[in-house]
Structure formats: C-alpha cells, structure tokens
Amino acid sequence: MDAASHEEWPVERLARVSGVSPAHFARSFRDAFGVPPHRYLLSRRLERAKTLLRDTDLSITEIAFETGWSSLGTFGRTFRDVTGESPGELRAREQAAAHARDRVPACYLAAAYRPDLRIAVSEKRRQEAEAINGAETTEAP
C-alpha cells in the first residue's frame, strides 16, 4: 500500500494478497497500525499530496489524480477536513516559509507531515458541530 498508495486497496484485495480472510486482515491491520486499512491509505495519500504541494509545481488537480483521488472535489474536501486548510493554502504557506529541509532526513519529514487519522473525518465534523452548537446554547440568555 505504501509503494502504490495511488491505487485502490479494498480490504478484499489486501486480504487476498495476504492469504487471509477480509475480517481477519482488517482486525490484524488495525491491531498492528492502530487504524483501519482505509484510514492508513488515506494518511499515505495525504502525506504524498502534501509533499507534492510543497516540493513541486504540479497543479492541484494533477496532484489529486496522482495521489489516488478520482475527484478534485473529494480531494479538496478531505484534505481540508483532515489538515484544516485547503491544498492551495498549504502550498502557499509551505512555499512562503524558508526551510532547511535538505538537512533533515526524508523519513523524519514524512513522519512530521503524516496526518493524524485516529478518528474519522465524520467524527471530527460531529465534534466540531457539537462544539459550535454547545457554544450557541451557552451564549443564549
């Protein structure tokens, strides 16, 4: 999955490659990595997208398709939900900042830019909505 994160990796395919049942594979994967296979794949895709945004002049559309998304809209929405900023905002911020990345090993950079996907994007949205709704109800007279 790491080497070909742009490809589709349904649990059935991963289980078939591993020679185990899909349920066993999903359980074992979560036990080993702390997240389900689809979230792990999402983190790898976003990690790669961040690197391409930071280090290349490829268009955001090209980056979306190169990192495995079939829709620019889905890429942009997911990217913003997970990172808190749009791909364009991240690119502008990263390219404006002066960095001495050439002195940092690539594996450390990858780990530093890896998104935290221990909770689902939909769960993050629910928590944000509760925080907003909670703030509105506490402010009301």
Q: How far apart, in whole angstroms, are the C-alpha atoms of residue 101 and residue 139?
A: 46
Residue 137 inside a domain? The answer is: no
Whether 132 is in a domain gets the answer no
- pLDDT category at 6 given cuts 50, 70, 90 is confident
Spatial separation of the C-alpha atoms in residues 13 and 22, rounded to whole Å:
8
Number of structural domains in the chain: 1
In a domain? residue 15: yes
- pTM, two decimals, is 0.67
CATH of the domain at 19: 1.10.10.60
pLDDT tens digit string along 41-87? Answer: 999 999 999 999 988 999 999 999 999 999 999 999 999 998 899 99
Tens digits of residue pLDDT in 41-51: 999 999 999 99
Residue 61 lies in a domain: yes
Reading the block at residue 2, the tokens are 């790491």
Q: Is residue 134 part of a domain?
A: no
Can you read off the two tokens belonging to residue 123? 């769960």
Which residue range is the domain that position 31 belongs to?
11-115
Judge whether 63 lies within some domain: yes
24 domain residue, yes or no: yes
Residue at 85 is within a domain: yes
- From CA 80, how far away is CA 65, in angstroms rounded? 17
What is the spatial distance between Cα 87 and Cα 81, in angstroms, rounded to a whole number?
11
- pLDDT tens for residues 86-107? 999 999 988 877 566 666 777 7
Residue 116 pLDDT > 60: yes
